[in-house]
Structure 1
Amino acid sequence: MRVNVGSLRPVVACLLAGFLVVGAAQPAAAAPRRAEQWYLDELRIDQVHKISTGRGVVVAVVDSGVEATHPDLRGQVLAGGRSYGASGDGRADEDGHGTHMAGIIAAKSGGRDGVDGIAPGAKILPIKLRKGTGTNSAAAVAAGIRMAVDGGAKVINLSIGAPGFASPAEQSAIKYALDHDVVVVAGAGNTAKGHVAVGNPANTPGVIAVTGTTKGGRFWSGSVQGPEAVVAAPGDSVYNVTNEEGYGWGDGTSDSSAIVSALAALIRAKYPELNAPSVINRIIRTARDAGPAGRDPQYGFGVIDPMKALTANVPAVTANPLLDPAAATEPGPARTGGADEEFDVTQHGDRGGPTDQQVMVVGIGIAVVLVLLLGLVVFLIWNRRRYRREAARAGDIPDEVLDRAPPGGYPPPGADYAPPSGYPPPPNYGPPSGYGPPPGGPPPGYGPPSGYGPPSGYGPPSGYGPPPGYGPPGGSPPAPPRER
């Protein structure tokens, strides 16, 4: 079979275009900045995002403000407010601390070499506690917590801390948040700042106090420890955004707190019907036990496991397990150290709709189909035009070229022509001039077969006679009848 290679070129071009679209739509596999985010790989965040991205959940960052213009935070930051008595919203950050926390929670890579947040579907509500790089007042913290609750936050991240216990105003604000079904998360504290015990607001009852770990899940030496510890999360060399559109590493339980706040957002998006106590219970009951068995001063209930927190079968509770330990459900299979339970991603997606990855795959598929359809249309138009050109060229050929029949017919054969055996001679054909019978007569034995005669009883039909006037051949014709 002969293939017209030229006619296949448009099809090949269309297929190549489709493959290029698919290739262009894929994110860079090993962007340098993403490669620095070791904690995302350790927490299996790429796999977690197939189940939940935190979409629809508002996380308040009560901190130094958030630089909303950072490329990886554009579109992720709400207006928020300022709790230190100044006018304006929370979308400004002279210090960079609050911007770093917001990036850990909800950054969306704004370019080919950006960073990812743990809950990129969530929105950040920035509450600015101070101007510049000063200290936070207890009044500003208390007012900031209440502003976050009133602003619609379902999770409040407090990556702040001080020795001792929270002021009555702060304790009242935290109770206000818990009473309004809000999950409150705070960093336990850092030894580099002179902290020797879990400080406030992390040591306030009902708050998830988070200690820090290093790569591999070991306890980070820069983290404080104490009986108030609830869970542990990465806190050493956490890479993410900073203010002035920058990127950098953070060390501290502030980063650990932001990671757990993002986990709470993932759970609330996946299970919107759960109350805050059940979200807290799910976090602590699916944590991977580390250190001494059970709750301990370094890891609390264990190191967080986002995948299990989103997929394990953990019954709901009605009371905050950190306020009423008897209300907590018994640890399930997720805390036994066994293999991950099997799960179907289609049954664990965000309740709000398809995940970002599903939307991307659908978009790529639509783009490929459109490119292929466009290529098919181009090919059909090109092929039709090619057919018309060939037909036009064929129409210009004279008929005598296509059918070379000479006028007047073909000439008679030559004198030496003899018809093939079994074919009659052509018209006017005769023996060559001078041709006669062979000398000596016919060959010996030539004649009718010996003994040949008419069949027995054969004769003319009865009553048959020659017609009137008929005579034998060779004789004189009969005389015409005489008139009488």
Structure 2
Amino acid sequence: MRVNVGSLRPVTACLLAGLLVVGAAQPAAAAPRRAEQWYLDELRIDQAHKISTGRGVVVAVIDTGVEAGHPDLRGQVLAGGRSYGASGDGRADEDGHGTHMAGIIAAKGSSDGVTGIAPGVKILPIKLRKEDGVYKSAGMARGIRMAVDGGAKVINISIGGAGLANPVEESAIKYALDHDVVVVASAGNTASGRTAVGSPANAPGVIAVTGTTRGGAFWSGSVQGPEAVVAAPGDGIYNVANEGGYGWGDGTSDSSAIVSGLAALIRSKYPDLSAPNVINRIIRTARDAGVSGRDPQYGFGVIDPTKALTANVPPVTANPLLDPAAAATDPGPARAGGADEEFDVTQHGDRGGPTDQQVMVVGIGIAVVLVLLLGLVVFLIWNRRRYRREAARAADIPDEVLDRAAQGAYSPPDAGYAPPPGYPPPPGQAPPAGYAPPSGYAPPSGYAPPSDYTPPSGYGPPPGGAPPAPPRER
């Protein structure tokens, strides 16, 4: 069977256009970078994002600065500041540590990028500077106050030192807690020579975060101690790096950033919830691990983002981390047995209207319909003209004749027109002069011409035929 390839081209083009648009709407489920983020799957972040993305919340990252131009952070980073008094803001990072933390919290993801715990938040970078090779307490305290005054509702501190928090740091942390800000800090890493939870994580009221491995086991590189509050993944955390790159991080710094992202999800889902109740929700919904109840490795347990966003948690009137009784006892039945709670996503939607993903899907659906309708119209017009051209070429008839024919506008035969030999003249037209019937023609048996018929000039009756009788006179 012969196929007219030319007739398929417009259809193919329309279908390809539609498929390309539809294909753009599909999530890059097999994107290599997203596949490296095992901790997102373990924490069921995709499920949590159906409830909250952190939209409307500002998270301060007190660190080495944040590279705001990274593709996965573009548009996510506010101006921020520098705690050491230099001019400029925090949107530069020569080290890469702060950029990595910001990505864990807020990376919005691209076709082959990474996803943050709370991709709807804004990052407020507060850049620190090492003095004599360390981050001094004075700079840390100034950074905390700058973050509070800059509008942050969650502060992530993935930088710390050995020993107890000094009065300067404790004063700044109290300033944050008094202004309804959740403060999250990394417990510390054994690779740095630490043996106990460092500052400012060990300051009263701060969520001190230890690390876990894939599967939820305690990470051997994490310090432990009675100040531990919750645990989160910290081993092999893949996310953004400075200079537009990507890379792995190991440490409680990463664990702290994950918990800060969770705090932002909660604050977005429950905008009227106070900081003490955000902290209470995190610890009460944590999955108990290790020794029953609070322990030096996991604290109250491994975080459970979906449960933290949906569980029915009794309210508190004060920060549970400032109450020794709350810190030393099991948080309550909301986390008993660590069982997952079933929930209805439609009852826990992210407030503030449809998500960006929903708007994108609707827009792409409309675009697909418009492309297909336009393609169909173009094809019908093109196909009609193609058939007319092919008919014209086959009959060698000018286009203007076909156009008149399409309108029922054929002209009558010319005056000198004669049918081919053997064909009778058209109705209403007399045979031309000298016309004779074909040789051998005889009228049918029993046929007689009409009484008033007169043969044309020069025409004789057919062989064997007799002329009609003359009309009788009356």
Give the TM-score category using the shorter length: 0.7 to 0.9
The range that moved more, 58-67 or 354-363, is 354-363
Distance of 2:271 and 2:388 partners within structure 1: 63
Q: Which runs of 5+ in 1 are unaligned?
A: 434-484
2:221 alignment partner AA: G
Per-residue Cα deviation, 1:110-159 (whole angstroms, up to 9, x for no partner): 5x432221111111111111059931100001111000000000000011
Per-residue Cα deviation, 1:199-247 (whole angstroms, up to 9, x for no partner): 1111111111111000111100011111211110001111112222232
- 1:360 to partner: Cα distance: 2.2
Distance of 1:260 and 1:56 partners within structure 2: 17
Question: What is the match of residue 233 of structure 1?
Answer: 232
Question: What is the match of residue 41 of structure 1?
Answer: 41
The range that moved more, 386-395 or 278-287, is 386-395
1:338 alignment partner AA: A
1:90-109 correspondence runs (5 A)? 90-109=90-109
Distance of 1:142 and 1:176 partners within structure 2: 10
1:326–1:371 CA distance, 2 compared to 1 (3 A) = farther
TM-score, scaled to structure 1: 0.78
* Helix, strand or coil at the partner of 2:300: coil
Question: What is the match of residue 191 of structure 1?
Answer: 190
Distance of 1:414 and 1:99 partners within structure 2: 105
1:94 alignment partner AA: E
Distance of 1:262 and 1:335 partners within structure 2: 24
Per-residue Cα deviation, 1:252-309 (whole angstroms, up to 9, x for no partner): 1111000000111111111112111111111111111111222111111111111111
- 1:162 to partner: Cα distance: 1.8
Distance of 1:332 and 1:352 partners within structure 2: 31
TM-score, scaled to structure 2: 0.80
1:264–1:355 CA distance, 2 compared to 1 (3 A) = same
Distance of 2:95 and 2:72 partners within structure 1: 18
Q: How many residues align?
A: 425
Question: What is the match of residue 450 of structure 1?
Answer: none
Query: Is the CA contact (8 Å cut-off) linking 1:50 and 1:355 kept in structure 2?
Result: no
1:246–1:9 CA distance, 2 compared to 1 (3 A) = closer
Distance of 1:25 and 1:84 partners within structure 2: 45
Distance of 1:9 and 1:392 partners within structure 2: 27
Question: What is the match of residue 324 of structure 1?
Answer: 323
Identity %: 78
1:181–1:15 CA distance, 2 compared to 1 (3 A) = same
1:229–1:371 CA distance, 2 compared to 1 (3 A) = same
Distance of 1:386 and 1:67 partners within structure 2: 57
Match of 2:430 among 405, 408, 411: 408
Distance of 1:42 and 1:252 partners within structure 2: 17
- 1:176 to partner: Cα distance: 0.7
1:165–1:11 CA distance, 2 compared to 1 (3 A) = same
Question: What is the match of residue 459 of structure 2?
Answer: none
Query: Is the CA contact (8 Å cut-off) linking 1:349 and 1:355 kept in structure 2?
Result: no
Distance of 2:71 and 2:6 partners within structure 1: 47
1:337 alignment partner AA: G
- 1:30 to partner: Cα distance: 2.3
Per-residue Cα deviation, 1:75-119 (whole angstroms, up to 9, x for no partner): 111111111232221112222211111111112335x43222111
The root-mean-square deviation of aligned C-alpha atoms, in Å, is: 3.4
Question: What is the match of residue 24 of structure 1?
Answer: 24
Q: Which runs of 5+ in 2 are unaligned?
A: 392-398, 452-462, 465-474
- 1:327 to partner: Cα distance: 7.1
1:239-254 correspondence runs (5 A)? 239-254=238-253
Distance of 2:244 and 2:6 partners within structure 1: 52
- 1:58 to partner: Cα distance: 0.6
1:9–1:33 CA distance, 2 compared to 1 (3 A) = closer
